[in-house]
Structure 1
């Protein structure tokens, strides 16, 4: 039977795949990627899966990071963003690792190729090699499966359908089943 540590290992494999995909695109089209430290227009994430909430909570605890609880609720930007930098960058969620890339998937784009408007011209997108376009459905499907298995191991199947607010993580207002394993 799988353990939480097994699932976290599988999540890291998925995370590493996303990071590797980014590096592959950056190697071929680095000049067309404008995502850089300080660029944070896409940093508007407000909630994550319970699995990713667990990862973020563990990262915050490990780093001993304390975050001003007031700031997160005062802005449309991610509450983990401070001075144009992500406080949990090495542990950021998958969406933060893939945003900016050229993506395609039936659920999100209806099969069309899409990307951050700051990256890649329409002409380049039309000519881009398919192996540089991320299948976002595959990433999402794998994350949802891992999240469901994680919640089942916690004994809380209902939790799998929920999003955990980043402000709730900061404020410590998360389901008890998540806190006992972080």
Structure 2
């Protein structure tokens, strides 16, 4: 399967995420060992199958943590992500100030409760936040195209797959 467009989007997200991490480094507590946000998220099929393919090709297979509670990610071992290089997009933006449209069509800001504790929230702008809706829209469209091309008829463009299901495919 072809994942070039997905990986390009992922690289664009990493570039912006790295820029924002550098810009906000004095206010972010995210570092190795912090796993407050490592949950069993559900992801689009395009991400799911891209991760599966990469993990199958990799020399080192991830260790599955069956001791984690149901809501935690099965790829989290000793506070370390087993699939860090291939982690989903949602995991690539954790901790950053995320700007998104809420249900009342107003802009809302979200950030980890450990970050930005000594920061004036009024200082956030479009230039120093992650535009979550913009990238989620691009991901949605890539997923829609992926489903059509790959003929994965068991999925609709709105279906999401729990990350833990990756373990059954690698």
Equivalent residue, structure 1, for 2:97: 102
Equivalent residue, structure 2, for 1:43: 38
TM-score by length of 2: 0.86
User: Structure 1 stretch 120-129 or stretch 55-64: which is displaced more?
Assistant: 120-129
Q: Deviations over 1:5-43 (max 9, x none)?
A: 2xx222122111211112212222212111111100100
CA gap of 1:166–1:28, structure 2 versus 1, over 3 A, is closer
How many pairs are equivalent? Answer: 167
Contact 1:103-1:133 within 8 A present in 2 as well:
yes
Structure 1 unmatched ranges of 5 or more: 173-178
What's the C-alpha RMSD, in Å, of the aligned pairs?
A: 2.3
User: Structure 1 stretch 112-121 or stretch 134-143: which is displaced more?
Assistant: 112-121
User: Structure 1 stretch 101-110 or stretch 151-160: which is displaced more?
Assistant: 101-110
TM-score by length of 1: 0.81
Task: Name the structure where helix makes up a greater proportion of residues.
Answer: 1
Question: Is 2:148 the counterpart of 1:152?
Answer: yes
Structure 2 unmatched ranges of 5 or more: none
Instruction: Measure, in 1, the Cα distance between the counterparts of 2:80 and 2:106.
Output: 32
Contact 2:29-2:114 within 8 A present in 1 as well:
yes
Question: Is 2:99 the counterpart of 1:92?
Answer: no
Instruction: Measure, in 2, the Cα distance between the counterparts of 1:123 and 1:30.
Output: 12
Instruction: Measure, in 1, the Cα distance between the counterparts of 2:99 and 2:108.
Output: 6
